[in-house]
Amino acid sequence: MQAVTKTNFQFPKQKSFYKGKVRDVYNIDDKTLLMVVSDRISAFDVVLPQGIPYKGQVLNQIAAKFLDATSDIVPNWKIATPDPMVTAGIYCEPFKVEMVIRGYLSGHAWREYKQGKRLICGVPMPDGMKENDKFPKPLLTPTTKEAVGHDEDISKEDILKHGLVSEKDYNMLEEYTLKLFQRGTEIAEKMGLILVDTKYEFGKANGKIYLIDEIHTPDSSRYFYLDGYQKRQDAGEPQRQLSKEFVREWLMEQGFQGKDGQVVPQLPDEFVNKVSERYIELYEKITGDKFVKTPAANVVERIEKNCVEFLNK
């Protein structure tokens, strides 16, 4: 399987093209978006040199499943999935913030906590916690949504002060985020997992708020295995997790953290295959479905054909 790391289509009525860290987004007539989920992988807000086979299919199919499973909470942008690596949806104007929500002291929050910080995005974190402990209640820790470079932590107060989101809309985003996280937590628990933290993105079309982009995927979320969680915490052992964190950890071992002047290391083939297997494992673990690998030949041509057929309907 050749990883799909770039696309360059010209669709009928295409108005613009946006290349994100992982997604290639085609704007069709300011009405429909075709989002191709590539096999690119990013960490520390940097796109790594190699793609991960089947990663795009995994992310797209998990997101499609969870968009359907949460559509009673908040309207979402999805119209159809014309290809295993593509979602077609409503063209929305995205909000300039990402809604990050954390149930446990892990990842970025832990790195801040370890340095002695007890405020994250203006939200207090209790004293006396250790890595991967559960917060008394989930913390909302939004970030700015930067087109280039690192997203930055931001408080609700600063979001409103700078007019990034109106107060009325922000209150809705908070409400949706808490409800989505609760639903995601319940679904994960049924599958023997803990949804540790995640992020949601929202946009607006015709004055209505929609959930956009991906949801509850290993790129946007961190999962622990539920079985043995407490035992490992009590023993001070690392948690078994299904997320991109192990890629970040591998990069840190190579001396890379996305800082200025650091060179992105090449990923060995063996590690690329391991990452691919980890994504497939997470797909099967969280959806309960067997992952079906799409045929490896002519993937880019297949994507183009399926998208054109969808647009011609």
Q: How many domains does the chain have?
A: 1
* Mean pLDDT of the 40-67 span: 94
* Mean pLDDT of the 60-67 span: 97
Q: Is residue 120 part of a domain?
A: yes
What's the confidence (pLDDT) of residue 219? Answer: 85
Whether the Cβ atoms of residue 82 and residue 25 lie closer than 8 Å to each other? no
The more confident residue out of 138 and 151 is: 138
| Nearby residues of 5 by Cβ (< 8 Å), 6 or more positions away | 38, 39, 40, 50, 51
Among 129-143, 217-231, 249-263, top mean pLDDT goes to 129-143
Q: Is residue 259 part of a domain?
A: no
Q: What CATH number is associated with residue 161? A: 3.30.470.20
Q: Is residue 293 part of a domain?
A: no
pLDDT tens digits along 241-287 = 887 778 988 999 999 998 999 999 999 999 999 999 989 988 999 99
- CA 60 – CA 43 distance, rounded (Å): 18
Q: Is residue 311 part of a domain?
A: no
Q: Is residue 17 part of a domain?
A: no
- CA 45 – CA 47 distance, rounded (Å): 7
- Does position 76 have pLDDT exceeding 70, yes or no? yes
* Mean pLDDT of the 180-208 span: 97
Q: In Å, how far from its chain's centre is CA 137? A: 22
* Mean pLDDT of the 232-239 span: 96
* Mean pLDDT of the 164-172 span: 97
Q: Is residue 63 part of a domain?
A: no
Q: In Å, how far from its chain's centre is CA 244? A: 10
- Does position 16 have pLDDT exceeding 80, yes or no? yes
Kindly tell me the number of DSSP H helices and DSSP E strands found in the chain.
8, 17
Mean of the per-residue pLDDT values of the chain:
94
Of 56-60, 84-88, 125-129, 143-147, the poorest mean pLDDT is in 143-147
SS (H, E, C) the chain: CCCCCCCCCCCCCEEEEEECCCEEEEEECCCEEEEEECCCCEECCEECCCCCCCHHHHHHHHHHHHHHHCCCCCCECEEEEEECCEEEEECCEECCEEEEEEEECCHHHHHHHHCCCCEECCEECCCCCCCCCEEEEEEECCEECCCCCCCCECCHHHHHHCCCCCHHHHHHHHHHHHHHHHHHHHHHHHCCEEEEEEEEEEEEECCEEEEECCCCCCCCEEEEECCCHHHHHHHCCCCCEECCHHHHHHHHHCCCCCCCCCCCCCCCHHHHHHHHHHHHHHHHHHHCCCCCCCCCCCHHHHHHHHHHHHHHC
pLDDT tens digits along 113-135 = 999 999 999 999 999 999 999 99
Q: Which neighbouring-strand residues pair with 25?
A: 18, 35
Whether the Cβ atoms of residue 256 and residue 59 lie closer than 8 Å to each other? no
For 221, the domain range is: 94-242
Q: Is residue 231 part of a domain?
A: yes
125-139 b/e (C-beta count within 10 Å ≥ 16 → b):
beeebebbeebeebb
What's the confidence (pLDDT) of residue 242? Answer: 80
- Does position 149 have pLDDT exceeding 70, yes or no? no
Q: Is residue 1 part of a domain?
A: no
- Does position 147 have pLDDT exceeding 70, yes or no? no
Q: Which two tokens stand for residue 43?
A: 């960490």
